[in-house]
Amino acid sequence: MTLVEKTESFVRAELKGNDLSHDFDHILRVRNLALKIAKEESFEGDDLQIIELAALLHDVKDWKYSKSETAGVEAVQEFLLEQKVSHEVISRILRIVDGVSFKNELGSNSSDSSHLNLREVYVVRDADRLDAIGAIGIARTFAYSGFKGLPLMRKGDESLKVHTLSKEEYMNRDVSQQSTIRHFYEKLLRVESLMKTKTGKRIAARRHQFMEEYLLQFFGEIRCEF
């Protein structure tokens, strides 16, 4: 088996118990998007494999499921060491995996965070963000909300505006105040403005527009307008 094939097998097993919002199909979509972005952004050779491996590994022991901020990076490092991957390549992959997380972006300072200087981080991060928006992003949001037992909406959600949370606020949100629709305003509608690559920005624009159209339809139906 090639390293990519071994990585696919490892990740498939790791994510076996996850709900549909963070399953192996999500990983495959992110991998495909990351390679598409990388090629359009002129990456080639070994850089493409590093991006592919990081995209495959980015959700291993995600904190939303493991309840640990370090378990993912530790598990990825252990796996790569077992595969005899060079320390230089492991370091690059770990920096990408750590840099992809939305919560870590909320807690970062782009002026002094070293991993944010890596273009390859932007590629995988943009790919992961793209799978969080548009038609697929909406489907994943409802899948995760169903898994967590969240309501479609709560009183007051119709007047929500897009707002920014700190890393601490995002990680410690009160479940009793959460809803599926609220997630759009806390994260999904912010994604387009956070994209870093030209390719990612282009794709995100259409997906963002679709979400806005969806919300207009959703609230219109709630109000029995159509």
Per-block mean pLDDT, blocks of 10 residues, the chain (226 long): 98 95 97 98 95 97 87 96 97 94 65 57 97 98 95 91 76 82 95 96 98 97 92
What pLDDT does residue 104 have?
67
> 82-118 burial by CB neighbour count: b if 16+ within 10 A, else e?
eeebeeeebebbbbbbbbbbbbbbbeeeeeeeebbee
Q: Quote the CA–CA distance of 5 and 192 in Å, as a whole number.
A: 32
- pLDDT for res 190: 95
Residue ranges of domains in the chain = 3-222
pLDDT (0 to 100) of residue 191? 96
Give the pLDDT confidence of 5-16 residue by residue, as tens digits: 999 999 999 999
Distances (CA, A) of 50 to 39, 95, 122, 179: 13, 11, 13, 36
Give CA–CA dist 199/101, Å, rounded: 19
Q: Does domain 3-222 have CATH number 2.40.50.180?
A: no
Q: What is the pTM of this model?
A: 0.90
pLDDT at residue 112, as a whole number:
40
State the pLDDT at residue 29.
98
pLDDT score of 223: 93
Give the model confidence (pLDDT) of 31-42 as tens digits: 999 999 999 999
